[in-house]
């Protein structure tokens, strides 16, 4: 059975709203293991590498401005099928339509800004997880 690692980010809205403990508790209750944690306000340079696939999209500038607006908690999380499993805990991108029971469905809310503020990020594939963990947890 493959044990995977994924990158979880608690975004500036999650930290600001004091939801760090709530998100980490959900990860731990699911049985996933926290193996590394850090808190930082990410630079635009780091975020440009992290959000490579979204460069050029209409929401890219707003996304970078939001993500660099304050501290973020980055977690290296380990578990069986954790990449898919954490995405399932998170729910879909839009907090308005994310189902109850998910982090975004339970805790996310609609905002007036065009930038979607949805509390957390989770890697979407093994390739993304390896790439993103190297960016956020570079030695």
Contact positions with ligand DAT (CB under 6 A) in 3-42 = none
Q: What is the DSSP letter of 106?
A: H
Closest to ligand DAT by CB, 1 vs 73, is 73
Residue 69 found at the interface with ligand DAT (CB under 6 A) = no
59 binds, among Mg ion, ligand DAT, none (CB under 5 to 8 A by kind): ligand DAT
Q: Is 54 a catalytic residue?
A: no
Q: What single string gives the DSSP state of each residue in 48-101?
A: HHHTGGGTTSTTHHHHHHHHTSS-EEEEEEEEETHHHHHHHHH--S-TTTSPTT
Q: Which of 12, 24, 6 is nearest to 72 (CA)?
A: 12
Q: Collect all residues with Cβ–Cβ distance below 8 Å to 126 and sequence separation of at least 6.
A: 4, 83
Residue 48 found at the interface with ligand DAT (CB under 6 A) = no
Out of 24, 64, 121, 133, which one is annotated catalytic? 121
Closest to ligand DAT by CB, 106 vs 124, is 124
Residue 121 found at the interface with ligand DAT (CB under 6 A) = yes
Please tell me whether 109 is known to bind a ligand.
no
Q: What single string gives the DSSP state of each residue in 13-26?
A: HHHHTT-HHHHHHH
The residue count for the chain: 139
Please tell me whether 78 is known to bind a ligand.
no
Residues annotated within a binding site for ATP: 11, 59, 87, 93, 104, 118
Binding site for ligand DAT (CB under 6 A): 54, 59, 63, 93, 114-116, 118, 121, 124
């Amino acid at each position: 059975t493959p044990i995977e690692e994924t990158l979880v980010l608690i975004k500036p809205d999650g930290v600001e709203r004091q939801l760090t403990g709530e998100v980490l508790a959900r990860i731990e209750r699911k049985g996933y293991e926290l193996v590394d944690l850090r808190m930082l306000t990410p630079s635009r340079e780091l975020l440009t590498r992290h959000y490579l696939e979204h460069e050029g999209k209409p929401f890219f500038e707003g996304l970078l401005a939001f993500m660099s607006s304050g501290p973020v908690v980055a977690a290296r999380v380990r578990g069986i099928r954790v990449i898919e499993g954490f995405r399932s805990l998170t729910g879909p991108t839009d907090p308005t339509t994310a189902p109850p029971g998910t982090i975004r469905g339970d805790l996310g809310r609609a905002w007036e800004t065009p930038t979607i503020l949805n509390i957390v990020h989770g890697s979407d594939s093994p390739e993304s997880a390896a790439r993103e963990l190297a960016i956020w947890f570079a030695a």
